[in-house]
Amino acid sequence: MASAAAVAADPVALQELVEDAVVWASQHGLLVGLGIDDPACAAVHAPLALLPVPYPRETFEQAKQAALAFNSMIDAVAADEAYLQEVLAAAAQEDEFMARLLRVFRETADVRHARQAVGQERLLAVLRSDYMLHAPTNSLLQVELNTIASSFGCLSTLVARMHRYLLGRLGASPAELAALPEHNAMNAIVDAMGAAVADYGTPGGVMVMVVQPGERNAYDQQWLQTRLWERHGVRTLRRTLAQIAAEGQLGADGRLTIGGRPVALVYFRAGYTPTDYPSEAEWAARVLVECCDAYKCPTVAYQLAGAKKIQQDLARPGVVERYAASPADAQLLRRFFAGQWGLEDLADADTAAVVAHAIANPDQYVLKPQREGGGNNFYGAALAERLRQGGPGLAAYILMQRIQPPPQRAIMVRRGQAAEADTLSELGVYSTYVRRGSQVMLSAEAGHLVRTKAATSDEGGVAAGFAVLDSPLLV
């Protein structure tokens, strides 16, 4: 089977394969928007790797096997209100966005507790646990667990199909094609949504997809609404938080309607960053949704449970063991934890020692705020400088061991232009979870995503412009 280096060595063959990839992507909806300044219909193929990346089969399967353990663990964390508030308190003092999320959490507690008391708390989780190979120890370490707006489930399904097509064009044998793992994250996520809407049980109940204005990744989202209609007959309304504030009506029975339509599920693809709340109207919409009796993906509790500070605290001795479903699950999850340290007590001797080591060796660490969406972390000299500044503001960050994945040659294609480079890859594993009261109706592993970036790039988000969509070739 042709490698990236072999394909890149033949300019004619390379150009033909790039053209094939761009045409396939355009024909099959592997697309992103061109941006808010372009017409609404303007699109281009998603940033993509021309060929799948070789990936160790054993570690790939380990990540898949951990999905259900992460499902049950994060559900238990989200249910422990005292733990969430205690662990996030210091970060909230320095981070206004975190403080506001906690305020929504507290303001809606009475409604939440009333539903819990009668077994009618409804939640859907679409999680994505992201990992990177750590070359020095040949281990798979978790980058983060995403509990809100876990994107690219649909486009990752399509890029895997595209790679199967392109490898076939290059003459791959059936045995070689078998190394491309089958998955359909698109349908798996949609079927979880369909299960939630069906359980809600209201005829004509719709899913409201909460979106950002001018969303460039709308095609990944719109695949979900298309498939939800095709597979389950459920209509989707795309609304910003501001539109929900203007159109939403909450009945005395807790039923939410948007434009007169009953809402069975609210699915957030926005709401994870401060810029999604430019006014009080957006916060009012978040409270409205939290108070309604529809399924929510996620609840505010789940969003808080996905905070970097919670991830760091779970890695402390004995903590994940409190929330894992079994000792075996706790042992399984702990094997994926990288080194992580809180920064709320800089006078603590152990914390001071780690900070001093990070200042002296900044390339071995990442400084992470309580933010989602990519492009927010500190690396290298900027990390060392922020740590030198010190101050109480560091309580809003966690310090994490920097994972050192092995570089591989890859051909990345953006807007029809190919570039070969040394790259690093990140594996994401999706999982879905549907629960009403104490009844877990679904807990499943739901496909995977690979994002590949230039080895010289610190960040790794596709939507943020740092990486390309990829798929694994198991070796």
Q: How many C-beta atoms lie closer than 10 Å to residue 288's C-beta?
A: 18
**Do residues 136 and 55 touch, judged by C-beta distance below 8 A?**
no
465 is annotated as contributing to ligand binding: no
Question: Tokens in use for 410?
Answer: 């890859």
Question: Tokens in use for 372?
Answer: 């989602």
402 is annotated as contributing to ligand binding: yes
149 is annotated as contributing to ligand binding: yes
Query: In this structure, is the dihedral angle defined by the CA atoms of residues 307, 308, 313 and 317, taken in order, positive or negative?
Result: positive
322 is annotated as contributing to ligand binding: no
397 is annotated as contributing to ligand binding: no
Catalytic residue among 308, 309, 386, 436: 308
463 is annotated as contributing to ligand binding: yes
150 is annotated as contributing to ligand binding: yes
Q: Is 334 a catalytic residue?
A: no
Q: Is 144 a catalytic residue?
A: yes
Q: Is 146 a catalytic residue?
A: yes
376 is annotated as contributing to ligand binding: yes
Q: Is 290 a catalytic residue?
A: no
**Do residues 47 and 451 touch, judged by C-beta distance below 8 A?**
no
Q: Which residue has the tokens 């109940």?
A: 205
138 is annotated as contributing to ligand binding: no
Q: Is 308 a catalytic residue?
A: yes
Catalytic residue among 128, 227, 239, 309: 128
212 is annotated as contributing to ligand binding: no
Q: Is 372 a catalytic residue?
A: yes
379 is annotated as contributing to ligand binding: yes
Catalytic residue among 261, 373, 393, 414: 373
Catalytic residue among 71, 129, 151, 431: 151
State the helix-helix crossing angle for 153-169 and 185-200, rounded to 10 degrees.
150
Catalytic residue among 451, 460, 461, 471: 451
Q: Is 81 a catalytic residue?
A: no
Q: Is 151 a catalytic residue?
A: yes
Closest by CA position to 475, among listed 133, 30, 8? 133
Is the preceding peptide bond at 298 cis, omega within 30 degrees of 0? yes
401 is annotated as contributing to ligand binding: yes
**Do residues 69 and 332 touch, judged by C-beta distance below 8 A?**
yes
308 is annotated as contributing to ligand binding: yes
| Cα 399 to Cα 388: distance, rounded to the nearest angstrom | 13
216 is annotated as contributing to ligand binding: yes
Q: Is 115 a catalytic residue?
A: no
Q: How many residues does the chain have?
A: 475
Catalytic residue among 368, 386, 435, 436: 368
Helix (H, G, I), strand (E, B) or coil at 284: helix
372 is annotated as contributing to ligand binding: yes
Catalytic residue among 121, 344, 372, 445: 372
398 is annotated as contributing to ligand binding: no
| Cα 162 to Cα 460: distance, rounded to the nearest angstrom | 21
Helix (H, G, I), strand (E, B) or coil at 155: helix
| Cα 362 to Cα 379: distance, rounded to the nearest angstrom | 7
340 is annotated as contributing to ligand binding: no
**Do residues 433 and 188 touch, judged by C-beta distance below 8 A?**
no
Catalytic residue among 71, 129, 146, 431: 146
1 is annotated as contributing to ligand binding: no
Q: Which residues in 347-369 are b (16+ Cβ under 10 Å) and which e?
A: eeeebeebbeebeeebeebbbbb
The annotation places the binding site for substrate at 128, 148-151, 215-217, 221, 269-272, 451, 462-463
Annotated binding site for Mg(2+): 144, 146, 372
Binding residue positions: 128, 144, 146, 148-151, 215-217, 221, 269-272, 308, 368-377, 379, 400-403, 426, 451, 453, 459, 462-463
Active site residues: 128, 144, 146, 151, 308, 368, 372-373, 451
Residues making up the binding site for ATP = 144, 308, 368-377, 379, 400-403, 426, 453, 459
